[in-house]
């Protein structure tokens, strides 16, 4: 294929723009905010689980506490009843009196044990409530952080899109100035090798694959006409000669 040296040089501009566009696409994929948002979502799920666990524990404890308080009340009512019988002086039989007094003693012990249980349940409830409050605060902090990171990510995406659209429009105008056949070759090579379809020959080295050309290859290039479109055998890219080529 033949193309003017000027047209060939334009391929280097295209290659630079393609490199820039690839860099922008990579930046979009690798935005650190995306990883941060994933981590925040994981943490959010964890604190929500913790909240659910605390809620379950709280309702269990509420039920237990209500039961224990009912038990305390029952015992208290029995003590009152016994005490009233005692105070009314209705019990004169010595054995009955003794049995009533001993029942009151054992009921008081039972009441004290049950009150102990209620206190312990209240303490456990307090601890569960504190865990729930901390988890809830965690979800709120997480939501605020997520909003901040999302807005940072959106700003970065908007900036990337803007740069992309600039580079794409410059690429379109450069591409329009390249002869169709040469442009088609460039795009084909680019699709095959990835990255860019053309590279500069600089000081005897292909800048596309960083491989130095052999003396024989360089001699062939020296002998080629300036409008001959050359390819690097090693990487198949279109090789562009410039004043820096070392020919």
Of these, 3, 104, 114, 206, which contacts Zn ion (CB under 5 A)?
206
Q: Is 230 in the site for Zn ion (CB under 5 A)?
A: no
Window 45-104: residues binding Zn ion (CB under 5 A) = none
Q: Is 197 in the site for Zn ion (CB under 5 A)?
A: no
Q: Is 241 in the site for Zn ion (CB under 5 A)?
A: no
> In this structure, what are the phi and psi dihedrals at residue 211, rounded to the nearest 5 degrees?
-105, 135
CB 247 within 8 A of CB 20: no
Token pair of 78, please? 């029995």
Distance CA(196)–CA(17), nearest Å, equals 9
Instruction: Return the residue matching tokens 């990835």.
Output: 194
Nearer to Zn ion, 190 or 232 (CB): 232
Of these, 58, 100, 209, 224, which contacts Zn ion (CB under 5 A)?
209
Nearer to Zn ion, 11 or 40 (CB): 11
Least distance to Zn ion, CB of residue 151, Å: 43
Of these, 182, 208, 213, 217, which contacts Zn ion (CB under 5 A)?
208
The interface region with Zn ion, picked from 93-101, 133-141, 166-174, 232-240 by CB under 5 A, is 232-240
Least distance to Zn ion, CB of residue 235, Å: 3
Nearer to Zn ion, 125 or 236 (CB): 236
> Long-range contacts for 38-46 (Cβ within 8 Å, ≥24 apart)?
40/142, 40/145, 40/146, 40/149, 41/146, 43/138, 43/142, 44/139, 44/142, 44/143, 44/146
Nearer to Zn ion, 164 or 234 (CB): 234
Instruction: Return the residue matching tokens 């040296």.
Output: 5
Least distance to Zn ion, CB of residue 188, Å: 16
Spatial CA neighbour of 213 closest among 239, 243, 242:
239
Q: Is 232 in the site for Zn ion (CB under 5 A)?
A: yes
By rule CB under 5 A, what count of residues binds Zn ion? Answer: 6
Q: Is 235 in the site for Zn ion (CB under 5 A)?
A: yes
**Strand bridging mode 205-206 / 198-202:** antiparallel
CA angle 78, 80, 81 (to 5 degrees): 65
- List residues binding Zn ion (CB under 5 A): 206, 208-209, 232, 234-235
């Amino acid at each position: 294929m033949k193309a003017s040296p000027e047209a060939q040089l334009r391929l280097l501009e295209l290659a630079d723009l393609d490199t820039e566009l690839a860099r922008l696409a990579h930046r979009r994929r690798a935005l650190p905010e995306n990883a941060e948002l994933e981590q925040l979502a994981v943490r959010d799920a964890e604190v929500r689980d913790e909240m659910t666990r605390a809620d379950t524990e709280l309702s269990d404890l509420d039920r237990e506490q209500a039961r224990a308080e009912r038990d305390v009340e029952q015992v208290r009512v029995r003590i009152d009843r016994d005490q009233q019988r005692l105070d009314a002086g209705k019990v004169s039989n010595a054995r009955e009196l003794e049995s009533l007094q001993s029942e009151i003693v054992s009921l008081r012990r039972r009441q004290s044990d049950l009150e102990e249980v209620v206190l312990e349940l209240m303490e456990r409830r307090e601890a569960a409530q504190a865990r729930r409050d901390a988890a809830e605060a965690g979800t709120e902090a997480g939501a605020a952080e997520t909003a901040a990171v999302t807005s940072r990510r959106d700003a970065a995406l908007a900036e990337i899109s803007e740069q992309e659209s600039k580079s794409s429009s410059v690429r379109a105008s450069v591409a329009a100035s390249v002869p169709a056949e040469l442009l088609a070759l460039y795009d084909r090579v680019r699709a095959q090798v990835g990255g860019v379809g053309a590279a500069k020959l600089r000081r005897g080295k292909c800048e596309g694959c960083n491989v130095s050309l052999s003396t024989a290859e360089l001699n062939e290039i020296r002998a080629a006409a300036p409008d001959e479109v050359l390819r690097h055998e090693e990487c198949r890219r279109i090789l562009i000669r410039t004043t820096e080529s070392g020919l």
